[in-house]
Amino acid sequence: MKILKLRNLLFGLMAVLAIAILMTACEQGSINPPIQVGTDENQKIMDALCNDVHDCSNVEILEDAIIFDKCMHIDKDDMLKYLAMLENGIEQEPVMSTIPHPLDPDKMIEIQDNGEQNNATIEERQRIVASSLFAKNTEVTNLKYYIHQSARDCHANNENAINEATGYWSSISNCRVKFSYTSNINSADIIFGCDDDPLYRALSGHGYVPWNWLAQADIPDYFSRKVGRFISINDTYTSNTSLRKGVMIHEIGHCLGLDHTDETFGHLLEGSPETDDNSLMNATDANRNEFSNEDLKMVRRLWPQSLSQPTNVSLTKVGRKVRIKFKNPNRTTGPYDNFRVYHLYAGGSGNILVENSFIQANAHGNYEILVPESRHFASGRHYFTIQGRSRGGEITSPWTNWKYVDM
């Protein structure tokens, strides 16, 4: 699976496209020649996106929008604000968690997940932003969708396909993404329409979908991290009626922040295969109406309903280091995207020893790490506790009970 990666300045620009698996809704056509950059603003965007790996032949900069792969749409002003944020600093709302002190259970230890990042390097800022360029967990639990009349008019099967696609997303077990229909366009989070209707085009800000692509979708907002609002269906798309549901599932994925699995522009999600022929998020037609197993794993790493507490924790001395083993008891429907280890030295203060480790479990859900990486533990008693986390740490498991080892 792939997560968008900003090259150079923007580990996040493409990431704004989102963290990803690839779907079948955006059918690939011929490659456009590199765009002509005509303004300083456009050059700034291209400098952030393009390098020796990415020639940006799949990026089109319009007067007020940027189009990726012909099917993902982002507001140009938002992109420029995002670049300014990377240059000037990032401030995130602190997220706090607490755990009882191992020597004094009545005393709580406070752990801060994030906060002001203005002293971070550009590379660190890119990493920070890239970890959150998908729809926020609090924004996906009650999504309202609206079907514009143009979507009904341009193909008789669109309405059924949209209803089935939103129902499919809502049915994924241990996933926070849930949909319900609204007849009020003003209360809709996602609006489906057809590109042949001038009123819909004016409403969405989209132009015509390229003739050889099936649909086009907005990606999440950079700042609020709300889902992308519009999905535009190509009115010339009249074939593959039975696979229209899969196209809509794919486009909803873009609105939530998923990129194309089979594109090279994104950043490979840690622990996922480099290719997945069955992924519904592939840019080319996958001839499917459902996610692959890897797609589902990605969705649950981003938006899990809950995560189970790590079990089977064991500590073993290895010289002046410690081997830690533990298990995710629910690895199939509740995979950890990453985990953290908090360490407390009986003779000193506590610290997060392992932060955002993307080491993935083996086939049985077991993890094994050796800590610390670059130094050795001092003599004395060392305490450890472990927490499983979703991408960005928005959903976390309970911390494990403290375990200790004497060095």
List pLDDT tens digits, range 164-177: 999 999 999 999 99
pLDDT in tens, 381-401: 999 999 999 988 889 999 999
| pLDDT tens column, 198-226 | 999 999 988 888 877 889 999 888 778 89
Q: What is the CA radius of gyration of the chain?
A: 23
383 closest CA partner among 347, 343, 351? 343
Give the per-residue pLDDT at 95: 67
Intervals of CATH 2.60.40.10 along the chain: 307-406
CATH 3.20.20.70 fits 2-84+132-302, yes or no: no
Checking if the pLDDT of 268 tops 90, the result is no
* Per-residue pLDDT reduced to its tens digit, 294-304: 999 999 999 99
Q: Which helix (H) or strand (E) holds 252?
A: helix 244-256
Residue ranges matching CATH 3.40.390.10 in the chain? 2-84+132-302
pLDDT tens digits along 61-73: 877 777 766 666 7
Q: Do the Cβ atoms of 22 and 276 come closer than 8 Å? A: yes
Per-residue pLDDT, 113? 65
Alpha-carbon distance 384 to 313, whole Å? Answer: 10
Q: Tell me: pLDDT of 108 over 80.
A: yes
Distance CA 356, CA 340 (A): 6
Instruction: Specify the pLDDT at position 346.
Output: 79
Helices (H) and strands (E) in the chain, counts: 9, 20
DSSP string computed for 175-231: B---EEE-S-GGG-SEEEEETT-HHHHHHH---PPPTT-SEEEEPPPTTT-PPP-EE
- The answer, yes or no, to whether residue 24 has pLDDT greater than 60, is no
What per-residue confidence (pLDDT) applies to 22?
31
Homologous superfamily (CATH) for 307-406: Immunoglobulins (2.60.40.10)
Answer whether residue 379 shows pLDDT above 50: yes
Q: How buried is residue 117: exposed, middle or buried, by Cβ count under 10 Å (0-12/13-18/19+)?
A: middle
pLDDT of 63 reads 76
Beta bridge partners, 268, equal 2
Q: What is the percentage of the chain residues whose pLDDT exceeds 70?
A: 75
pLDDT value at residue 33: 39
Helix, strand and coil in the chain, % to nearest 5? 25, 25, 50
Contact 251, 260 (CB under 8 A): no
